[in-house]
Amino acid sequence: MRIRAAVLEEFGQPLVVQDVDLAGPKAGEVLVKLVACGVCHTDMYTASGADPSGYAPAVLGHEGAGVVEAIGVGVTSVKPGDHVVTLFSPQCRECVHCVSPKTNLCMAIRAEQNLGHLPDGTTRLSRGDEPIRHFMGTSTFAEATVMPEIALAKVNPEAPLEVAALFACGLTTGLGAAMYTAKLEQGSTAVVFGAGMVGLGAVVGARIQGAERIVCVDMSDERLELARQHGATHVMKGGPEATAAILEMTDGFGADYTFECTGLVSVMQQAVETARMGWGLCTVCGVAGKGETLDVIPRWLIQGRRVAGSSFGGAKGRDNVPELVQRYLDGDIDAEAFISHRITLDEVNKGFDLMHHQDGIRSVIQFS
Ligand SMILES: NC(=O)c1ccc[n+]([C@@H]2O[C@H](COP(=O)([O-])OP(=O)(O)OC[C@H]3O[C@@H](n4cnc5c(N)ncnc54)[C@H](O)[C@@H]3O)[C@@H](O)[C@H]2O)c1
Ligand SMILES: [Zn+2]
Ligand SMILES: [Zn+2]
């Protein structure tokens, strides 16, 4: 079939929206008609050429939600008409990592996905004789996509798909950091550095887990106000002084749980330093720049602070995303509030501009 899609042709250049060919689903694959797709930092980062593992031409986009149109041989967990959220982090339920409760990093299709291929090593996207690669195994800046069954979360059809799309990346990353990676305990103190989509998700996750105090740190007053609306009990301007201010608020000890949601290594250091001596856990969500390293003074660790990283919030996508979408429907997560702009596929580069200028939290592409 012919579909419209936003193609990364050349690094550092705007995406080019055009018609491309999409072949039907092979065994274990699913054709999804997209209804909505969020625009995330990782798309912009890859388009810029800063990501050394990026490839072109590729159809970008990974925060998608849509409706199953057709299924390939052997697909049993979804059927035409089902509402699904796309997962750049799949869950095969069989690999050594999937059967462990300790991690969400499914190993089943990792190597081919990193190359921009579907699991059988080929692409369904093309233009004439030229194959086009599948970004993050999702390629959701497009009217339709073909994805492996194990990378689709079936969600309650009552949830508007533009809201469900947020759970495909940023929101689940923040929520999950608190709920699945840190497993934050009721009554504890949390500090969240950064109030973008990920940080605000962490604020909500901490609130859901029953944190008594939630301190959110950011540079933007507007975003700090949003953090308050979503459950932060204290807000604070970011910068080197924030460390002392947090220690002072916690009798000099630091917080039970800290979350780094900025991607800045200087802030990651702060998040380690402000984790409580004895048992404080620092969860790193941000993706640092190429080649950057995090310096940790060993004494911080010897004194009982711990550091964890979190990919996709530690969420096992097919299990946890439907649960989180249900919590949105139950009124626990005001996810709609995070959609700041609704744009068309042709306006995808505007979505990058808005993100670059920190205008709003999330732009969502709507496919008509
Ligand atoms: N681990 C994952 O699976 C995963 C998934 C999605 C995104 N990410 C990463 O998470 C990070 C956050 O993503 P986002 O979409 O929320 O980004 P964002 O840019 O919208 O938000 C980052 C926030 O950090 C704030 N900030 C800047 N300097 C600060 C400082 N010194 N102290 C406190 N706050 C400061 C900014 O004002 C901004 O509000 C990025 O690095 C992104 O790449 C990781
Ligand atoms: Zn993302
Ligand atoms: Zn697996």
Specify the amino acid at residue 351.
G
Same domain, yes or no: 43 and 32 = yes
Q: Can you give the pLDDT at residue 52?
A: 82
Stated pTM of the model: 0.97
Q: Can you give the pLDDT at residue 293?
A: 95
Domain CATH for 252 = 3.40.50.720
Beta-carbon contacts of 75 under 8 Å, excluding residues fewer than 6 positions away, are: 25, 28, 29, 30, 149
Ligand 1: residues whose CB is within 6 Å? Answer: 41-42, 169-170, 173, 193-199, 217-220, 223, 238-239, 261-264, 267, 285-287, 310-312
Q: Can you give the pLDDT at residue 200?
A: 98
- What's the mean pLDDT in 142-150? 98
Same domain, yes or no: 273 and 150 = no
Residue 198 lies in a domain: yes
Q: Can you give the pLDDT at residue 290?
A: 85
Q: Which residue is closest in CA terms to ligand 1's atom 23?
A: 194
Same domain, yes or no: 158 and 188 = no
Choose, from 29, 63, 273, 347, the residue flagged as catalytic: 63
Respond yes or no: is residue 2 known to be catalytic: no
Q: Can you give the pLDDT at residue 134?
A: 98
- Locate the ligand 1 atom nearest the alpha carbon of residue 239 and give its number: 31
For residue 70, count CB atoms less than 10 angstroms from its CB and return exposed for 0-12, middle for 13-18, buried for 19 or more.
Answer: middle
pLDDT grade, residue 368 (50/70/90)?
A: confident
Choose, from 145, 149, 162, 169, the residue flagged as catalytic: 169
**What are the E-state strand segments in the chain?**
2-8, 16-22, 29-38, 58-59, 63-71, 83-86, 125-127, 130-131, 133-134, 144-148, 152-154, 189-193, 213-218, 234-237, 257-260, 281-284, 306-309, 339-343, 362-366
Same domain, yes or no: 90 and 200 = no
pLDDT tens profile 28-73: 999 999 999 999 999 999 999 988 888 999 999 999 999 999 999 9
pLDDT tens profile 234-262: 999 999 999 999 999 999 999 999 999 99
What percent of the chain clears pLDDT 90, i.e. is strictly above it? 97
Same domain, yes or no: 99 and 133 = yes
Respond yes or no: is residue 106 known to be catalytic: yes
Residue 184: is its pLDDT beyond 80?
A: yes
State how many domains the chain has.
2
Q: Which domain holds residue 254?
A: 171-311
Query: Are 97 and 103 spatial neighbours (Cβ–Cβ below 8 Å)?
Result: yes
Q: Which residue is closest in CA terms to ligand 1's atom 20?
A: 196
Same domain, yes or no: 38 and 162 = yes
Q: Can you give the pLDDT at residue 160?
A: 98
- Mean pLDDT rounded to a whole number for the chain: 97
Respond yes or no: is residue 261 known to be catalytic: no
Query: Are 56 and 125 spatial neighbours (Cβ–Cβ below 8 Å)?
Result: no
- What's the mean pLDDT in 180-205? 98
Choose, from 29, 37, 40, 173, the residue flagged as catalytic: 40
Same domain, yes or no: 57 and 98 = yes
pLDDT tens profile 348-365: 999 999 999 999 999 999
Q: Can you give the pLDDT at residue 50?
A: 86
Domain CATH for 100 = 3.90.180.10
Residue 37 lies in a domain: yes
Q: Can you give the pLDDT at residue 164?
A: 98
Same domain, yes or no: 100 and 198 = no
CA distance from start to end of the chain? 17
Q: Can you give the pLDDT at residue 246?
A: 98
Residue 54 lies in a domain: yes
Q: Can you give the pLDDT at residue 289?
A: 86
pLDDT grade, residue 204 (50/70/90)?
A: very high
Residue 143: is its pLDDT beyond 80?
A: yes
pLDDT tens profile 262-304: 999 999 999 999 999 999 999 999 999 889 999 999 999 999 9
